[in-house]
Chain A
Amino acid sequence: MLDHFQRRKITDIVARWACLGMVFLALVPLASVLYDLTLKGLGGFSWAFFTQLPKPVGETGGGMANAFMGSAILVGLGCAFGIPVGVLGGVYLAEFGNNRFGKIVRFAADVMSGVPSITVGIFVYTMVVLTMHRFSALAGGIALAILMLPTVMRTTEELLRLVPDSLREAGLALGIPKWRVILGVVLRTGAPGIATGIMLAVARAAGETAPLLFTAFGSRFLSLKLDQPMGSLPVQIYTYAVSPYEDWHQQAWAAALALVLLVLVLNVLARVMTRQPGQGR
């Protein structure tokens, strides 16, 4: 017969191994995705892959320079629209949002962050694409901005709330106007954390396919025109993956690997930034 103590010890061991097992189970998809991607994608990495445009259908070779450039522009547009609105919205919520309106906005942002990205795509399609009568990079940028907005806004708010009130009072007591205290003291103190939130939002936006399908659409040419369709990594991966050509499949794998590496780098950057010293937390 086991005594109380031994029973407890066994329970402890079983529970611990169960947790560990589940962790490994959770890691299996991640590890196998990375393994598979590297195996199949790395072979496609070449100078031409990153610098050349797609060859006409049927010819082999060529690269995805249009998609790399397009993704950079689309994400850049998303940031240009999403970051100012998100950060200032977060400032509003943290500094002035202790009222009903603030509560409503906070709730709306939380709901928005749960909206499927394809819904955002269709929304921008009806609002922008149908009005402009064409797919455009602009519409893609707006869709990405909408996706980034709730994350940026809520992280900004959370981080500004962590800034102690004593710093706000120190600023006010020095005769600094409130808006300058918010910009010069509060935002600045929270900046490293906010930058982390932005990085994570960018990483997510960079990998989105659905909102771009209906908005930026895709293009096989290197285009810098914001009112024209534009290629992007996720959309091109999708197009190539469903195509019948072996060469395109290879390129899709390579592009997928490149995208995952990009997201990985953004995430690592975000982590490194939170570790920066002198941040007062």
Chain B
Amino acid sequence: MNALSSTLAMPRLDLHDSASLLVSDQEAQSPARASQSAKMATENLSAWFGKNKILKEISLPIREKRVTALIGPSGCGKSTYIRCLNRLHEVIPGARMEGRVLLDGQDVYTRAMDPVALRRRVGMVFQRPNPFPTLSIRDNVLAGWKLAGMRPERPDDLVERSLRQAALWDEVKDVLNRSGTSLSGGQQQRLCIARALALEPEVLLMDEPCSALDPIATAKVEELIHQLGEKYTIVIVTHSMQQAARVSHYTAFLYLGDLVECNTTDALFTRPADRRTEDYITGRFG
């Protein structure tokens, strides 16, 4: 099986060519210069679980209003990486990190940055859909507000807008009071996306958002990511190279905790600079 040719055959890749070519490959490869237009960036980010060093000095810019994909074999640290971006890594006992994570040029690991405030700016969607089982669909969308003791100005509008953005409104508009867990897996995942969008975050982190979904639901969520990428800065973890090619502008390849290569998605898949990247995308290991 030749993964490279199948990736290249993905029609959606062409859609991104115009967008990704706006930034030259050169610029994407040089984190220092790229960080100017970066919404977020990590500088020498290392992370540990106990004594195991999971991430090794990762420096990566995350472009504003672009979709950045993280690919790599499972266990290479992709989830750990994005959980460092919203400081969710540190809630696990024994987990720690070093290095810098910047949001709009500001270090998020300083005392001045409250993790609670950070997480409202940097939303997250998890691998398994995790709507709150005790809350209705409507309250799930508003959970980020209500559970934090806040009230949005026009809750009904916010619910509709968020659900529309998550391409779920038409399917649930008549059953907003049903439990969030009464939906199908794909719908639950879009509900979780709506829940994250209801806080109007600046960055959206998605950890393999389609891995628990069937192909049709996957297609819907991918289409959604593609659209959201025009408004939001998105980081998506995926172990599917086809998915990375379909939805992202930039792709970073992680291997055993190292950042091997980062480039425009187009360039990374057609002209990988590193031998390991080439082996991975052509399916020789992983």
Residues in chain A within 8 A of chain B (CB atoms) = 98, 164, 166-167, 169-177, 180-181, 184-185, 188-189, 191, 278-280
Contacts and interface: CB of A to CB of B under 8 A. Distances in A.
Most chain B CB atoms below 10 A, which of A98, A175, A177, A189: A175
B80 to A, nearest CB: 13
A169 B147 contact: no
Contacts of A181: 147
Given A172-B119, A185-B132, A279-B133, 12 more contacts: A167-B130, A170-B126, A173-B86, A173-B126, A174-B119, A174-B148, A175-B116, A176-B147, A184-B147, A189-B134, A278-B179, A280-B134
Interface of B: 86, 88, 91, 93, 116-120, 123-124, 126, 128, 130-134, 143-144, 146-149, 179, 181, 192, 195-196, 199
A191 to B, nearest CB: 8
Contacts of A167: 130, 132-133
Nearest to A279: B133
Nearest to B195: A174
B59 to A, nearest CB: 24
Nearest to B128: A166
Contacts of A172: 88, 91, 119
Contacts of B181: 278, 280
18 contacts: A166-B126, A167-B130, A169-B88, A169-B126, A169-B130, A170-B130, A170-B132, A173-B119, A173-B123, A174-B120, A174-B143, A174-B144, A174-B196, A176-B143, A177-B148, A181-B147, A185-B132, A279-B134
A248 to B, nearest CB: 50
Contacts of B120: 174-175
B78 to A, nearest CB: 16
A173 B123 CA distance: 6
Contacts of A170: 126, 130-132, 192
Most chain A CB atoms below 10 A, which of B119, B147, B199: B147
Contacts of B128: 166
Contacts of A175: 116-120, 144, 148, 199
Contacts of A166: 126, 128, 130
A220 B195 CA distance: 60
Contacts of A174: 119-120, 123, 143-144, 147-148, 195-196, 199
A181 B144 CA distance: 10
Which 3 pairs show the lowest CB-CB distances between chains A and B? A280-B133, A175-B120, A174-B144
B108 to A, nearest CB: 13
A155 to B, nearest CB: 18
Nearest to A98: B93
A175 B147 CA distance: 10
A166 B126 CA distance: 8
A130 to B, nearest CB: 46
B130 A176 contact: no
Contacts of A278: 133-134, 179, 181
Contact of B144 (A98, A176, A188): A176
A189 B140 CA distance: 13
A170 B132 CA distance: 8
Contacts of B147: 171, 174, 176, 180-181, 184-185
Contacts of A189: 132-134
A279 to B, nearest CB: 7
Nearest to B140: A170
A175 B119 CA distance: 5
Contacts of B146: 184
Contacts of A188: 134
Contacts of B86: 173
Nearest to A187: B134
Nearest to A170: B130
A181 B116 CA distance: 12
B206 to A, nearest CB: 11
A168 B120 CA distance: 15
Contacts of A173: 86, 88, 119, 123-124, 126, 196
A181 B134 CA distance: 13
A189 to B, nearest CB: 5
A7 B21 CA distance: 80
Contacts of B192: 170
Given A175-B117, A278-B134, A278-B179, A180 B91 contact: no
Given A170-B126, A172-B88, A174-B199, A180 B149 contact: yes
A177 B148 CA distance: 7
B6 to A, nearest CB: 32
Contacts of B116: 175-177
A170 B128 CA distance: 10
A148 B179 CA distance: 33
